[in-house]
Structure 1
Amino acid sequence: MTDETTLPPYLRGRFAPVPEEHSAADLTVRGSLPPELDGHYLRNGPNPLPGEDNGHWFTGPGMLHGIRLRNGRAEWYRNRWVRTRELDGHPFIREDFTIDLAATPANTHVIRHADTVLALSEVGLPYWVTPSLETVGPYDFKGRLATAMTAHPKQDPATGELHLYGTGFTPPYLTYHRVTAEGLLLDSRRIDVPGPTMMHDFAITERHIIWMDLPVVLDPALAGRGGVPYRWDDGYGARLGVMSRTPGSTDVWWYDIDPCYVFHVGNAYEDAQGLIVLDAVRYDRAGFHRTWSETGGPTSPSGLAAAREPNHSQAAAVLHRWTLDQAAGRVTESRLDDHPAEFPTHNQTRTGRRNRYLYTVSSDGIAKHDLTHHTRHVYETPGNRHAGEAVFVPAADATGEDEGWLLSLVSMDDGTAGELLVLDAAELSVQAVVELSYPVPAGFHGSWLPEPVHRP
């Protein structure tokens, strides 16, 4: 029998991978599920096969967890590995040193666009899956996607277009792509950057794309040692780039900023004066290394330990704001909050537009940030529970930005059965808790997939 204390932190406790796929029906619900919640909640995350250690929390094969809600009931829970070429044993780098973009873990996010559900990881192609978690296969937008695809695409709520990018280990290091609301990859544009950085996220506004060219860079010398071959490089510099969304544009206006790293963006927008505002979770060099040291993740065991520090000024990651003045050619920076934070989410009808609220998670629970009144309200998860990313679901006919619910998969410190937490987003109060029959390891990102509304 394995002594759990000898396992790395990302293979034990609430991070422990589950060894099997399960299905359960007619789940117990405490409280009252809003009947309006008719759809699937899906979440992705790494889950190594039994007996395997991929050397890093980021690199385990993807496993989807799904819950079907309908008519105030939780009809089923399922978990399924994403059946990628990597899971079948195919190497990412072939013997001739070419890259198999379909041999990826597909372990970071899951979205739906143009009625196609995609499991995402940033090193390769997305994988097409069904709402019931069956894998269809790699997806390249009918042969038009020839690069990797970010795990954090952005959908414009007005146009329905999906904006995304791919990074490469060799030139081109960055390629921008635009997909129509109907799912057609319309154009791809090479963006010049100096080298292969770990660009995990970006932002859009109504008129611009915001790039983050930051000093965590590929180091080939680390390849083959297990883990992720990236390191902090003080010599690379840190900058934000502003590119017009005008079709065909590739010109980028770059703004140097204080050295930092960003895993996840909250949102970005253009204010009434034409200034571009970007809100994100910022790591300084020490915070990045402290979080990266054990497993290299924004909610890794080391990152969560740092989040418990009583001195919030030493928090590994905090909400931060950059304001870019294109007319003056300068950028200003400020902290939005001193508390630890990660996995920022918002009402996605406000993506690229001014938003009042952001939701984040830490070891304390789920926090609601009022960016107008500069307040922070927390729902504290009780006992040994740890909330995952809080996905906002807007209420039908909502008139306020925070009218809706937050869905979060909760993992347990001792690795026992998980829960789906449903909070009222306005009050941050418990609406319902769905009891799951099996453990749910801590993971990354998810989405709410509502059933189509058929109107007469």
Structure 2
Amino acid sequence: MDTKSPQAALSAQGQPAYLSGFLGPVPDEIERFELTVEGALPPELSGLYLRNGSNPMPGQDPGHNFTGQGMVHGIRLEGGRAIWYRNRWVKTPTMQGARAVRPDGTRDVTAGVANTSILHYDGRILALVENALPYELTRELDTVGPYDFGGALKSPMTAHPKTDPATGEIHFFGYDFRPPFLVYHVATRDGVLKHSVPLAVTGPTMMHDFAMTARHVIWLDMPVVFDMQLAMGRRGMPYRWSDDYPPRIGVMPRGGSNADVRWFAVKPGYVFHVGNAHEDAQGRIVLDGVYYDRASFDRLWNRLGGASVAATGEPQATKGGVLYQWTLDLANGAVSEGPIDDLSVEFPVVNGERVGRDHRYVYAVNNSFIEDRGGMNVVKFDVKTGERRAHAFERGWIPGEAIFVAAKNATSEDDGWLMSIATHALEDRAQFVVQDASDPALKPVATVTLPRRVPAGFHGAWIAGD
């Protein structure tokens, strides 16, 4: 494969796609109070919605959408009102030029951009990125500093930890381009890191997400790998697709070690994000996630700023990733896999009370950055019946990840609300949108006008209460 550094996809204005349009960064921090609400915010929604994303500093080009400095956007709700909006950069040492690898070759795990997701854990608000430590924020979005479980965590932490809805403990991992390539961790609900073990994978894979069931942890050892030639020759993310890397999924008992991992060979593909996993009545592992084949991965990776085969002139895919399901039979080693639906989507989420348990509904977004001929939708998939329901946004609006927030005294899996930020593709506008999760095809319950455009970003969280 040719690993030369291609020019990232350019917008009509000649800027890289990740620095223009609805991905383009904003230049400053602002705050506004008593925002305009269309419709009616449910009075029970009292708390803080936060969404993280890449927002390079003015004049900077990080080389990839994934490597810009983190910026968190927040909306405070109370009593049916949108009390305030504010945005703040996550102030990590990278803003002053710190690098993850020091001149002497040692690793600085505080030097990350903290731009990917938000975790509410042990009373703290943490901004996460997968190649460094999390950064703690105040409820006003000021940066407190790196969080390392009282000095116990010495390696990077994934941006996608899994919280057990029954115990509150979190399972997570860190990956690196140097051995050990993967380390698995478990922490109690109150901030004690109680289990850390290295796991053997084929090489320096880019493991962005993983899954958990009631009894197992699921590893995605997929063929997107670190490339030293790219690291030496370009900014951004030095990872690429490799046809030589064997794709596989690993299953291990929760709290287990490397000797306990059982690997299943699967079709070549990549998964940025899982929806959920569970054990069915036969004891098989059932995993839902968004699956990219090589062509669709390369197309998206190039637009985000990464090196790809498609960028060098080979035919490009017209679709993005699709919701997909793997069933792994622990009794006989058999694997069955295939798409749940053919709509190109990203950012799958489920009701947090169903994490690791059998679930019926997965929520995701379909927008024009994922598929050129797609709509602008928030989609609800019924994985039991195959039905999907979608809300089509008005022309120009780009929906972001729609997180699920359970209704007070909820009586069903889909009894709750979907929260997202929608960004306008052409205008300096953004909206905070609340939808009825039982039927997102309906008109939104409430829309809050935000005081500026918010760049399309990554992952959000709802933190209930004061």
Q: Do the aligned partners of residues 296 and 342 (structure 1) sit closer, same or farther apart at CA in structure 2, a change above 3 Å counting?
A: farther
The answer to whether the 8 Å contact 1:315/1:338 transfers is no
Stretches of structure 2 that go unaligned for 5 or more consecutive residues are 1-10, 368-375
Partner of 2:453: 439
Q: Deviations over 1:320-369 (max 9, x none)?
A: 00000000111110210011110001101000001100001011210000
Partner of 1:254: 263
Paired residue secondary structure (2:341): coil
Return the offset for 1:294: 2.1
The answer to whether the 8 Å contact 1:197/1:218 transfers is yes
For the residues of structure 1 that align with 2:98 and 2:272, how far apart are their CA atoms?
Answer: 28
TM-score, normalising length: structure 2: 0.92
**Paired letter, 2:408:** A
**Paired letter, 1:149:** M
2:111 equivalent to 1:99: no
For the residues of structure 2 that align with 1:368 and 1:85, how far apart are their CA atoms?
Answer: 39
Q: Deviations over 1:381-436 (max 9, x none)?
A: 11211100000000011010000100010111114121100001112121000001
The answer to whether the 8 Å contact 1:19/1:50 transfers is yes
State which drifts further: 18-27 or 361-370: 361-370
The answer to whether the 8 Å contact 2:363/2:380 transfers is yes
The answer to whether the 8 Å contact 2:290/2:348 transfers is yes
For the residues of structure 1 that align with 2:245 and 2:184, how far apart are their CA atoms?
Answer: 21
2:383 equivalent to 1:358: no
Runs of 4+ in 1 over 4 A off after TM superposition: 246-250
2:236 equivalent to 1:227: yes
Counting only pairs closer than 5 Å after superposition, residues 26-425 of structure 1 correspond to structure 2 as 26-224=34-232, 225-246=234-255, 250-296=259-305, 315-363=319-367, 364-425=376-437
**Paired letter, 1:445:** H
**Paired letter, 2:248:** R
Q: Deviations over 1:267-305 (max 9, x none)?
A: 0000111111000000001111111112158xxxx9xxx
Paired residue secondary structure (2:110): coil
Partner of 1:426: 438
For the residues of structure 2 that align with 1:117 and 1:334, how far apart are their CA atoms?
Answer: 37
Q: Do the aligned partners of residues 267 and 79 (structure 1) sit closer, same or farther apart at CA in structure 2, a change above 3 Å counting?
A: same
Paired residue secondary structure (2:103): coil
Q: Do the aligned partners of residues 220 and 249 (structure 1) sit closer, same or farther apart at CA in structure 2, a change above 3 Å counting?
A: closer
For the residues of structure 2 that align with 1:296 and 1:45, how far apart are their CA atoms?
Answer: 16
The answer to whether the 8 Å contact 2:77/2:83 transfers is yes
For the residues of structure 2 that align with 1:209 and 1:23, how far apart are their CA atoms?
Answer: 41
Q: Deviations over 1:156-203 (max 9, x none)?
A: 101111000011111111000001011211110111112110000000
Return the offset for 1:130: 1.4
For the residues of structure 2 that align with 1:94 and 1:340, how far apart are their CA atoms?
Answer: 40
The answer to whether the 8 Å contact 2:275/2:362 transfers is yes
Stretches of structure 1 that go unaligned for 5 or more consecutive residues are none
The answer to whether the 8 Å contact 1:198/1:216 transfers is yes
For the residues of structure 2 that align with 1:367 and 1:241, how far apart are their CA atoms?
Answer: 29
Q: Percent identity?
A: 51
For the residues of structure 1 that align with 2:329 and 2:336, how far apart are their CA atoms?
Answer: 8
The answer to whether the 8 Å contact 1:42/1:64 transfers is yes
Q: Do the aligned partners of residues 247 and 233 (structure 1) sit closer, same or farther apart at CA in structure 2, a change above 3 Å counting?
A: closer
Paired residue secondary structure (1:287): helix
For the residues of structure 2 that align with 1:337 and 1:4, how far apart are their CA atoms?
Answer: 32
For the residues of structure 2 that align with 1:286 and 1:77, how far apart are their CA atoms?
Answer: 39
Q: Deviations over 1:197-220 (max 9, x none)?
A: 000000000000000000000001
The answer to whether the 8 Å contact 1:190/1:250 transfers is no
TM-score, normalising length: structure 1: 0.94
For the residues of structure 1 that align with 2:257 and 2:111, how far apart are their CA atoms?
Answer: 31
For the residues of structure 2 that align with 1:191 and 1:41, how far apart are their CA atoms?
Answer: 35
The answer to whether the 8 Å contact 1:189/1:250 transfers is no
Return the offset for 1:246: 4.2
Q: Deviations over 1:24-81 (max 9, x none)?
A: 0000000000001010000000001111111111110000000000000000000000
Alignment length, in residue pairs?
438
**Paired letter, 1:448:** W
Partner of 2:372: none
Paired residue secondary structure (1:98): coil
**Paired letter, 1:289:** D
Partner of 2:463: 449
For the residues of structure 1 that align with 2:324 and 2:346, how far apart are their CA atoms?
Answer: 11
Return the offset for 1:131: 2.0
Return the offset for 1:4: 7.2
Q: What's the C-alpha RMSD, in Å, of the aligned pairs?
A: 1.7
**Paired letter, 1:338:** D
Paired residue secondary structure (1:263): strand
